[in-house]
Chain A
């Protein structure tokens, strides 16, 4: 009986053969089917590829940075900063200090704790006190520390004079020139412009305003190429106020997304992932009702990380997301006649074109019917979102307006969609940018400052930005690389890393966080704000700027005058300030109260501000999307991120043209074949990656590649696809672009870490539908081996460490992969060696597809050393380099290992990693990023996950100091610590009351390959899909 159920649960799934086979047209759908590896991809010859080997690159570096690197160890900022918990703040050798700060990698402004050892930052972790990140961080946040020690960063101000050569200069000279030019501009009535991306910091905003007001005819233009212009504009139309609302996924039990990659790249992925997962947990891991979970329906063109987590995913051609929204709105309001707008004739009229939408999209009407019903049942507890690349299409505004309509109709407005506590992400405006370019072209701009923005790289030729620059009197660029825009600037102000400078952020109304430096600048860099302060002084500007000696004081003043007051804290400012530094974040009384009111939707907005009706898009379309690891390419020189396997494709070190198996067949191309993508804007060539779940008429291409001047790691990795974007007077379209795809005949090697995509029906992945699970908590997990042993088992008195991983919570975001890399000094090997399957990640995330190739179901399975009780690796090691300790850890003794690789051969999980070469001889200052608690492994030695043994040691020492045992939850592994969805739980499994013991005892718990009787210490929980 059990057996049968197990059979059915594993074998009734449909599999298909290799994507190649599909192209040959002999697709199979029996259980023997598989995603086989494609011959072109396997056993790549090293010569065949131009390898960007991190190792080689590092060898180049030489000792040029050694001096500065060494000096960096002891330098601490001059201003008073306070550690998070440990007091006193003096450095105790061997003891880490933690400083609260703000992650500077993107605009989300997650709060972080910076771990410093002997005065140097070595790791980022989320700040548990911070309302967004709640102690979590994404992959790019984890990788931020590497940017601090990036050897290719600018080390002093440059005055390239638009000649493209990095001519050094002094700050004095630079300042003098800038000030002079501003005065000229003022005199000659020319304009002074500041062009930035989204700058979250309120103090920064204020400073810029004051600075500009002082310089007369001036304006602060904000444009972020991946910004949320359309959402804000739609909000202005629908609700009369230009805001990007605060989406509260933690309150949503029914989620519909139109192409919004909210778990990967959209707005605030960490917060969204955290919120999203809260309602996905069931059983003993549940936050709320242990028997129920939210349902997530995704309509998207490109297979995104978010899409892989959908219970139901429907393919929509890029550019037709709005049509899908229309279809849903029509079904809900017109057909089913539900919601308060059912009677509204204007609305009904406006939705008229929705009648045929489902048909046009080729999506069965039942889909919308069911979705609409589910939404209605959970009205007020559901959420509809559209954003990211889908909000950069031809009908983006329409999409956003329809999303607003749906949320208002479903009474989510003010509940799951909060327009009152909106993030400071609504400044980006294409209109302003277009206007600025106009001014520049007509030579009205005397001085242009560019900060947190790289327009020369990210704007298409047709906008003529680069030419326009030629007409600007003085172009001053703020950045840490001599990159695309820097090359055509007069001056380049070398900016520090976020851990080197002061700043603040206000991710949501009433939430204030401080970015405090944890190390004084390694190089002669100066922050954007600091520069403005200096120039303001030299320009003798009046106001607050004049009042404060420097940026730090200015920031402090702002907090005194604004934040301290709003916070309603009774404490005197000095104490308040110290507390703020210690905690890193302050919530105003208003924010703590968390009162949000629904905005009223105006049906007129369904006229879409005259941007035309929602219509279908003809032909094949192109979608330019951001990748989880690269986003817009700002940190392209970060080896950890370049080598982080894409959560969906598992490809590293490149971007590529995503095509569906159907399209690949029709174009008769396979993985690695180079195709030419032609749009109106231009044409580029990219290798093909055949991606199940792609829409058959949509090609996807990741932005953020093909950077120039970022450094030896990131230069010319992949191809820059921004030039294909389509600029109109209303917006810059990144998706839904009409494209023609043709095969060039050339081939290119893509380095993927996973080459086989089906789990072959093996019981290594266990899943069930929510319905089955509700009937039987063991659903999909009925079959267990009856295991015996002829040996007396070893005793593990005291602690016994174990882990539980909930496949239902894991979204595959890969934050843990980078966190592990940062914590454990895991080397980057470079594309050349990823191609030969030699990546070193201790923690990998296996991604498997099942079901139909058009709409595959996806499961992400984090795979690490299972610390088996009967570890097969230990038995075969001839030199006892790996054995068990008394706490159940499978230890690897690096200095005893001779490197027979027998252990790796005998590891059924293939989690052991071998140092094929010396990967770790990094040149200064990259070596400063190393965790001093971890041995740096030499060549010829095996390594693997240690359950962060150094953290265990640390926790035990601490417990010893305070007396008693390690408290459950005090000890977190690096992967667990950063996991936004709490999919990973670690602790003592001898103690039945620990969370890990509780979760592991869940009926969903199983061990991968348990029939081998190796008795892993890692328990996985079955994946539950709410799809029936």
Chain B
């Protein structure tokens, strides 16, 4: 966007900056948001989709190799039993959290600005959790037996171990996925109805008709709908907090120095929101351009998210510091060693990468100019995601590779196969997201209209004429 335009926007900030371009009418919302669904995808989309698919294929090949021959394909060893696999798992689960936060928590806090971004953020959640869910399944030694992790009595009436954090994960992640999906779909119903009603050809009408469950927008239905939406938001909020807390239990509940840490739950949740928002920014900076939705996903939205990124960034920074203090204060030689080794040991480089990306770089958002500069925020959001990936890597690998008995200390070096799987996870995520952009409204139209509604008082007349004209 050109500089004069930015200046203009900044000027607009002096008065209360509108969430939606004031020039927009109700009808424009449908036209603008549904447009991408109704025209053939542009070259940019095809390019992105192609790249995503190639990555996905790389990942599938790597997974095939692993399942076909053995986990030995990875760089793991007797001392370091987890590395890329669980790092990726935690990373993607974390990404998911921003979606739920925006759709649920901001909803409860009546943050109107969420309406432009919650749809795509929720979609991101769904796809991120799907990607994450892959890793617990493929990281096991006998992937074909992975279903044993689900609670059912096998032929020997043997159930599962409900004391194991990994099993808590199974419940947490599947519940999180289910509820997020339902929440998302409930939100979609009215918009799908809109798409149905403006559909020109039969098949399209039929498909969206089925998906919309025959929604008519009856006020009596809206009455229940709003209650249900609020309830689901209320359920999702503790859920999203519980999910990453439970993921953090995978480590916190173990006895390994560097894992056995009581601050993990809040620390992980903050980190998750941090990385999640960064990913939303990454996605939306591109999406709003490609889908031509600049007047709905506006700088104010991105700026608000950048503020949250800065805040949560400082929270994780605080957590890093706390960990070191606790280690020192505990006077436990194993604890102390692990943290010294974490920062100055052979994996020190990864620790400092993490600190730089997560704590230092987000500080740039103190400056409004940077907060509102698309290119810079895009770069920073990428850095944050790199940093958060490394945070999990640091926690997992540096704690494992040098634990209690020095005799079994060892080093971990990722194999090409693991890298392939990491690439594949991104491929899967972006493939799904790009498809979503093609087939479903990327902005919650009904909610946006709700927000516009208030502002339209002044221009009510204009609204009349416009729509009247449209009708007459």
Complex A–B touching at CB under 8 A: yes
Q: A interface vs B, CB < 8 Å?
A: 34, 37, 39, 42-43, 45, 754-762, 764, 833, 836-839, 844, 846-848, 861, 863, 872, 875-880, 896-902, 904-906, 908-910, 912-918, 938-942, 1008-1009, 1012, 1014
In addition to A754-B408, A764-B405, A878-B149, 9 A-B residue pairs with Cβ atoms within 8 Å of each other are A34-B406, A755-B409, A760-B333, A846-B408, A861-B407, A876-B165, A877-B164, A901-B81, A916-B76
B346 on the interface (CB 8 Å rule)? yes
Q: Which residues of B contact A938 (CB under 8 A)?
A: 142
B90 on the interface (CB 8 Å rule)? no
* Contact yes or no, A878 B167, CB < 8 A: yes
| 27 A-B residue pairs with CB within 8 Å | A37-B409, A39-B346, A762-B404, A837-B78, A837-B410, A838-B78, A846-B408, A848-B407, A863-B405, A875-B161, A880-B160, A880-B161, A896-B148, A898-B140, A898-B142, A900-B141, A900-B166, A902-B81, A902-B166, A908-B255, A910-B78, A910-B405, A917-B69, A917-B70, A939-B72, A940-B70, A1014-B255
B158 on the interface (CB 8 Å rule)? yes
* Contact yes or no, A876 B166, CB < 8 A: yes
B75 on the interface (CB 8 Å rule)? yes
B253 on the interface (CB 8 Å rule)? yes
* Contact yes or no, A900 B140, CB < 8 A: yes
| Residue from A839, A896, A942 having most chain B Cβ neighbours under 10 A | A896
Task: Give the 10 A-B residue pairs with the shortest CB-CB distance, closest first.
Answer: A899-B141, A940-B141, A916-B72, A901-B81, A42-B411, A43-B411, A846-B407, A837-B77, A43-B413, A910-B408
Question: Could you say which of B254, B408, B411 contacts A906, with CB atoms under 8 Å apart?
Answer: B254
Q: What is the distance, in angstroms, from A331's C-beta to the closest C-beta of chain B?
A: 39
In the complex with contacts A42-B410, A760-B337, A899-B142, A908-B161 CB distance below 8 A: no
Interface string of B139-152 (1 = CB under 8 A from A): 11111011011000
B325 on the interface (CB 8 Å rule)? no
In the complex with contacts A37-B409, A760-B337, A876-B148 CB distance below 8 A: no
Q: Which residues of B contact A906 (CB under 8 A)?
A: 254-256
- C-alpha gap A42/B409 in the complex (Å): 10
Q: Which residues of B contact A915 (CB under 8 A)?
A: 70, 141
Q: Which residues of B contact A757 (CB under 8 A)?
A: 406
- C-alpha gap A237/B388 in the complex (Å): 78
B400 on the interface (CB 8 Å rule)? yes
Q: Looking across the interface, which residue of chain B has its beta carbon closest to that of A938?
A: B142
Question: Could you say which of B75, B166, B254, B405 contacts A878, with CB atoms under 8 Å apart?
Answer: B166
In the complex with contacts A900-B139, A914-B81, A43-B412 CB distance below 8 A: yes
B353 on the interface (CB 8 Å rule)? no
- C-alpha gap A899/B136 in the complex (Å): 11
* Contact yes or no, A879 B333, CB < 8 A: no
- C-alpha gap A847/B406 in the complex (Å): 10
- C-alpha gap A833/B78 in the complex (Å): 11
* Contact yes or no, A914 B78, CB < 8 A: yes
Q: Which residues of B contact A872 (CB under 8 A)?
A: 254-255
Q: What is the distance, in angstroms, from B45's C-beta to the closest C-beta of chain A?
A: 39
Q: Which residues of A contact B337 (CB under 8 A)?
A: 760
* Contact yes or no, B166 A754, CB < 8 A: no
* Contact yes or no, A941 B148, CB < 8 A: no
Q: What is the distance, in angstroms, from A708's C-beta to the closest C-beta of chain B?
A: 30
B23 on the interface (CB 8 Å rule)? no
- C-alpha gap A917/B67 in the complex (Å): 11
Interface string of B319-330 (1 = CB under 8 A from A): 000000000000
Question: Could you say which of A34, A833, A899 contacts B140, with CB atoms under 8 Å apart?
Answer: A899
Q: Which residues of B contact A939 (CB under 8 A)?
A: 70, 72, 141-142
Question: Could you say which of A764, A905, A914, A1012 contacts B141, with CB atoms under 8 Å apart?
Answer: A914
Q: What is the distance, in angstroms, from A914's C-beta to the closest C-beta of chain B?
A: 7
- C-alpha gap A277/B250 in the complex (Å): 46
- C-alpha gap A861/B140 in the complex (Å): 32
Q: What is the distance, in angstroms, from B186's C-beta to the closest C-beta of chain A?
A: 32
- C-alpha gap A899/B137 in the complex (Å): 11
Q: Which residues of A contact B142 (CB under 8 A)?
A: 897-899, 938-941
Q: Which residues of A contact B200 (CB under 8 A)?
A: none
B222 on the interface (CB 8 Å rule)? no
- C-alpha gap A754/B149 in the complex (Å): 34
Q: Which residues of B contact A756 (CB under 8 A)?
A: 402, 406-407, 409
Question: Could you say which of A758, A844, A902, A909 contacts B406, with CB atoms under 8 Å apart?
Answer: A758
* Contact yes or no, B254 A876, CB < 8 A: yes
Interface string of B87-125 (1 = CB under 8 A from A): 000000000000000000000000000000000000000
| Residue from A39, A839, A877, A902 having most chain B Cβ neighbours under 10 A | A902
Contact residues, B403-426 vs A (CB, 8 A): 403-413
Q: Looking across the interface, which residue of chain B has its beta carbon closest to that of A882?
A: B161
Q: Which residues of B contact A43 (CB under 8 A)?
A: 75, 410-413
Q: Which residues of B contact A916 (CB under 8 A)?
A: 70-72, 76
Q: What is the distance, in angstroms, from B310's C-beta to the closest C-beta of chain A?
A: 34
Q: What is the distance, in angstroms, from B472's C-beta to the closest C-beta of chain A?
A: 66
* Contact yes or no, B139 A898, CB < 8 A: no
- C-alpha gap A896/B161 in the complex (Å): 12
Q: What is the distance, in angstroms, from A884's C-beta to the closest C-beta of chain B?
A: 12
Q: What is the distance, in angstroms, from B467's C-beta to the closest C-beta of chain A?
A: 58
- C-alpha gap A837/B79 in the complex (Å): 8
- C-alpha gap A760/B337 in the complex (Å): 10
Q: Which residues of A contact B402 (CB under 8 A)?
A: 756
Q: Looking across the interface, which residue of chain B has its beta carbon closest to that of A939?
A: B70
In the complex with contacts A756-B407, A901-B82, A906-B255, A880-B70 CB distance below 8 A: no
* Contact yes or no, B70 A760, CB < 8 A: no
Q: What is the distance, in angstroms, from B327's C-beta to the closest C-beta of chain A?
A: 16
| Residue from A899, A905, A914 having most chain B Cβ neighbours under 10 A | A905
* Contact yes or no, B406 A913, CB < 8 A: no
Q: What is the distance, in angstroms, from A954's C-beta to the closest C-beta of chain B?
A: 25
* Contact yes or no, A898 B149, CB < 8 A: yes
Question: Could you say which of B167, B250, B406 contacts A848, with CB atoms under 8 Å apart?
Answer: B406
* Contact yes or no, A910 B149, CB < 8 A: no
- C-alpha gap A901/B140 in the complex (Å): 7
B163 on the interface (CB 8 Å rule)? yes
Q: Which residues of A contact B139 (CB under 8 A)?
A: 900-901
B366 on the interface (CB 8 Å rule)? no
* Contact yes or no, A878 B164, CB < 8 A: yes
Q: Looking across the interface, which residue of chain B has its beta carbon closest to that of A829?
A: B72
* Contact yes or no, A897 B141, CB < 8 A: yes
Q: Looking across the interface, which residue of chain A has its beta carbon closest to that of B147?
A: A898
Q: Which residues of A contact B79 (CB under 8 A)?
A: 837, 910
* Contact yes or no, B77 A908, CB < 8 A: no
- C-alpha gap A759/B407 in the complex (Å): 8
Q: What is the distance, in angstroms, from B408's C-beta to the closest C-beta of chain A?
A: 4
* Contact yes or no, B413 A909, CB < 8 A: no
- C-alpha gap A872/B149 in the complex (Å): 19
- C-alpha gap A909/B78 in the complex (Å): 11
* Contact yes or no, A896 B405, CB < 8 A: no
* Contact yes or no, A905 B164, CB < 8 A: no
Q: Which residues of B contact A764 (CB under 8 A)?
A: 404-405
In the complex with contacts A899-B142, A914-B78, A37-B411 CB distance below 8 A: yes
Q: Which residues of A contact B406 (CB under 8 A)?
A: 34, 756-760, 762, 848
* Contact yes or no, B141 A908, CB < 8 A: no
Interface string of B150-181 (1 = CB under 8 A from A): 00000000111101111100100000000000
Q: What is the distance, in angstroms, from B7's C-beta to the closest C-beta of chain A?
A: 53
- C-alpha gap A836/B412 in the complex (Å): 8
- C-alpha gap A896/B165 in the complex (Å): 18
Q: What is the distance, in angstroms, from A778's C-beta to the closest C-beta of chain B?
A: 21
Q: Which residues of B contact A45 (CB under 8 A)?
A: 413
In the complex with contacts A37-B409, A42-B411, A898-B141, A908-B403 CB distance below 8 A: yes
* Contact yes or no, B77 A902, CB < 8 A: no
* Contact yes or no, B404 A908, CB < 8 A: yes
Q: Which residues of B contact A902 (CB under 8 A)?
A: 81-82, 164, 166, 250
Q: What is the distance, in angstroms, from A857's C-beta to the closest C-beta of chain B?
A: 16
Question: Could you say which of B77, B141, B165, B346 contacts A838, with CB atoms under 8 Å apart?
Answer: B77
Q: What is the distance, in angstroms, from B260's C-beta to the closest C-beta of chain A?
A: 10
* Contact yes or no, B70 A876, CB < 8 A: no
